[in-house]
Amino acid sequence: MKHLYFALLLLPSPQLLADTRDDALKLPDIVISTNRQVQARNDSSAANTVFTRDDIDRLQPTSLTDLLNRVPGVQVAPTGGRGSLPGIYLRGTKSAQSLVLVDGQRIANTTSGDSGLQYLSVDQIERVEVLRGSRSVIYGSDAIGGVIQVFTRRNAEQGLQPRLTLGFGSLQTWQRSLGLSGGDEHTRFNLGASLDETAGINSTHASFPTDGDHDAYRNQSLSLNLSHSFSEALEAGFNLLDSRGKSEYDNSFGRYDAASGQTLGQKPYTDYTVSSASGYLDATFNPRWQSRLELGHSENRDTKRDTLSDDFSVFNTYRDSVNWQNDLTLDEHNSLILGGDWYEDRFHGSTAFSENSRWNRAAFVQHRFHSEWFSTELGLRRDQNQQFGAQNSWSGTLTLPINPDNDVLLSYSEGFRAPTFNDLYYPDTRYSNPDLQPETSKSYELQWRSQLSDSTRLEASLYRTDLSDAIILDSTGKPQNVASARINGMEAALKQDLFGWQGNLGLSIIDPRDRSTGHTLARRARRTLSLDLDRQFDQLGLGASWQAISGSYDDADNAQRLGGYALLGLRSRWAINREVTLSLKVDNLLDKSYARARYSYDDPMFINNQDYREEGRVWLFGVTWTPEI
């Protein structure tokens, strides 16, 4: 593994063998998502953050969204406790303007644009990569703010390795997971299953008596990864992630009962499924040409029900996709990526949309030049969509190595987002618009990457994003291409080792503005800071996290202010022996009351403009057993 690591660093981008990808997923200084190929993080043109499985075990996040809170430029605004719908704001863009992938497959719901990240179990995750800034040349629609890619758990060693984890904590929380990985020099596999349950919290202030209950959450997850090398030049594999369960929530609006003419309370919940399956074929035809073919299928199924009535609604979306990419090494200075994408979205549900499917096909090319004095990257993509026609996207990056320890990058990128099925095809034309065009963006960025010392690494970015034809609802509730926004920002990530302590500091300052009103975009805090400190004392690991978030506004008119807050968490891991590890963590140690989102409505009979509650002080104890076979 150590020899592979140095080989990857010495061979940037395309000159990599197919059988290194699973091994590369274990390495912290490698990134795959930037160009869909293995390359050193420092060679990536995108500002990026990587969490390996070792990082996940050390940080002990409760959820994937908890992990994302540590990324500079990422803000998460949930609407309650675990399992609630979160807003994911990457560099000031909204959830639907950032692309979410699982093993290369899109998982967003095509009706709303939400990705279902809150339903992905961290126990089934090997690695998370976050790219900050548009990557539409490589990925097409949705990648305006950036890309979040989740990789399912992998095996990198020969022989069988079972694992068992049991955890319990406050709010009647239970976590259980089983896993088995194994393989030989040709075949590898990993199979995992988990069950998470919590009684949850009461997410909202009671407008009806039925609102006073806790909102429970249940998640069952299954992951499978299988790969086989037929030869040094040919590998095939299959990936699967399936998460399903039940998530309770409050509906403070109630439901109108026609028979009585009254508004009654509800006890609603969602039966959900988020799944992704993909197969791939990696071929190295010669030292200069590597090709990868991927076929994928993803589902995002959502059925909303009410314990107190027969009300229900079904919104199920499905996606089939094909991606073919060719990585060509032209000579020692020049390389080329040539590829094509196709995917089709389909909808089935209790609402009869005017259209229930659409396809998108695309071709892209990206050239990279690398020399001792400078490097360039230039890309072009053309998408052809069944609904809105053609869309071109450009990107370019110039890298200047000031010295062996400092690089400066200048980049320009274009992005776009296709309207959702709700925007285009909702059956009531008062609330849909088939004439909508894609949202578009232009981004400019300056990056500085510096190895300040052997123990200090700094990565900083200044950027500006201009959004045009943004889709908002007009005064009648109909979506229109009328909004524009500009987002100025600065990010910094500092990694420092001092006196045996490993420190990771993330800082972000943004100014996201609606151009027409001058107001700050809703639920975007201007300043965020995240700090993690960890140290290993032989078999005992100790760590602490601190997050500080400034105030923000919950609405477009900037009339409803959300206060700033700071959270402190502590964690520990004790390896009793080679097989048994104990863990204990406490989040929100000081039991702070805070809110990242609000709910409001116009009925004067009930409380309005209230904060969504967040969890107070919570703890979780876990035992992990990895017996040797």
Give pLDDT, residue 11: 42
Nearest to residue 345, comparing CAs of 280, 408, 419, 411?
A: 419
Nearest to residue 48, comparing CAs of 40, 60, 59, 57?
A: 40
Q: What angle do CA 221, 224, 228 make, to 5 degrees?
A: 170
Instruction: Render pLDDT for 504-515 as a digit per residue (tens, 0 to 9).
Output: 999 999 999 999
Lowest mean pLDDT among 180-189, 253-262, 293-302, 544-553: 253-262
Element (H, E) at 2: helix 2-10
Lowest mean pLDDT among 10-19, 372-381, 488-497: 10-19
Mean pLDDT over 385-392 rounds to 90
**Long-range contacts, stretch 7-14, CB < 8 angstroms, 24+ apart:** 8/38, 8/39, 8/40, 9/40, 12/39, 12/40, 12/43, 12/370, 13/37, 13/38, 13/39, 13/43, 13/327, 13/335, 13/368, 14/290, 14/327, 14/328, 14/329, 14/335, 14/337
CATH code of residue 380: 2.40.170.20
Q: Is residue 197 part of a domain?
A: yes
Q: Is residue 324 part of a domain?
A: yes
Torsions phi, psi for 18 (to 5 deg): -65, -30
Token readout for 595 is 């809110």
Q: How far apart are CA 116 and CA 65, in angstroms?
A: 10
Q: How far apart are CA 48 and CA 53, in angstroms?
A: 17
Strand partners, 272: 245, 302
Q: Is residue 510 part of a domain?
A: yes
Mean pLDDT over 223-229 rounds to 95
The pLDDT of residue 160 is above 80: yes
Q: Is residue 293 part of a domain?
A: yes
Residue 606 confidence class, pLDDT cut points 50, 70, 90: very low
Most confident among 143-157, 198-212, 415-429, 569-583 (mean pLDDT): 569-583
Residue 210 confidence class, pLDDT cut points 50, 70, 90: low
Mean pLDDT over 565-589 rounds to 96
Residue 600 confidence class, pLDDT cut points 50, 70, 90: low
Q: How far apart are CA 419 and CA 108, in angstroms?
A: 13
Lowest mean pLDDT among 161-165, 276-280, 595-599: 595-599
Structural domains of the chain, count: 1
Instruction: Render pLDDT for 420-431 as a digit per residue (tens, 0 to 9).
Output: 999 999 888 888
Are 229 and 235 within 8 A, CB to CB?
yes
Q: Is residue 153 part of a domain?
A: no
The pLDDT of residue 474 is above 90: no
The pLDDT of residue 327 is above 70: yes
Give pLDDT, residue 264: 67
Mean pLDDT over 333-360 rounds to 94
The pLDDT of residue 4 is above 60: no
Instruction: Render pLDDT for 82-106 as a digit per residue (tens, 0 to 9).
Output: 998 899 999 999 999 999 999 999 9
Q: Is residue 30 part of a domain?
A: no
Name the more confident of 460 and 21: 460
Q: Are strands 375-385 and 527-537 parallel, antiparallel or unpaired?
A: unpaired
Give pLDDT, residue 605: 46
The pLDDT of residue 568 is above 90: yes
Token readout for 10 is 């010495």
Token readout for 475 is 């005064």
Name the more confident of 503 and 557: 503
* The dihedral sign for the CA sequence 100, 103, 109, 115: negative
The pLDDT of residue 601 is above 70: no
Are 365 and 395 within 8 A, CB to CB?
no
Q: Is residue 203 part of a domain?
A: yes
Find the domain containing 331 and state its range.
Answer: 158-625
* Maximal CA-CA distance, the chain: 78
Residue type at 485?
A
Q: How far apart are CA 425 and CA 357, in angstroms?
A: 10
Token readout for 298 is 């993803």
The pLDDT of residue 476 is above 80: no
Instruction: Render pLDDT for 237-279 as a digit per residue (tens, 0 to 9).
Output: 999 999 999 999 887 666 666 666 666 677 889 999 999 999 9
Lowest mean pLDDT among 20-24, 128-132, 610-614: 20-24
Give pLDDT, residue 80: 85
Q: What angle do CA 585, 588, 593 make, to 5 degrees?
A: 160
The pLDDT of residue 388 is above 70: yes
Give pLDDT, residue 525: 95
Are 591 and 575 within 8 A, CB to CB?
no
Question: Cα-Cα-Cα-Cα dihedral of 420, 423, 426, 428, to 10°?
Answer: 180
Mean pLDDT, all residues of the chain: 90
Mean pLDDT over 113-120 rounds to 91
Region label for 523, one of left (φ > 0), alpha (ψ between -120 and 50) or beta (otherwise): left
Alpha-helical (H) ranges within 276-401 are none
Alpha-carbon Rg for the chain in angstroms? 24
Beta strands in 133-186 (DSSP E): 146-152, 161-169, 173-183
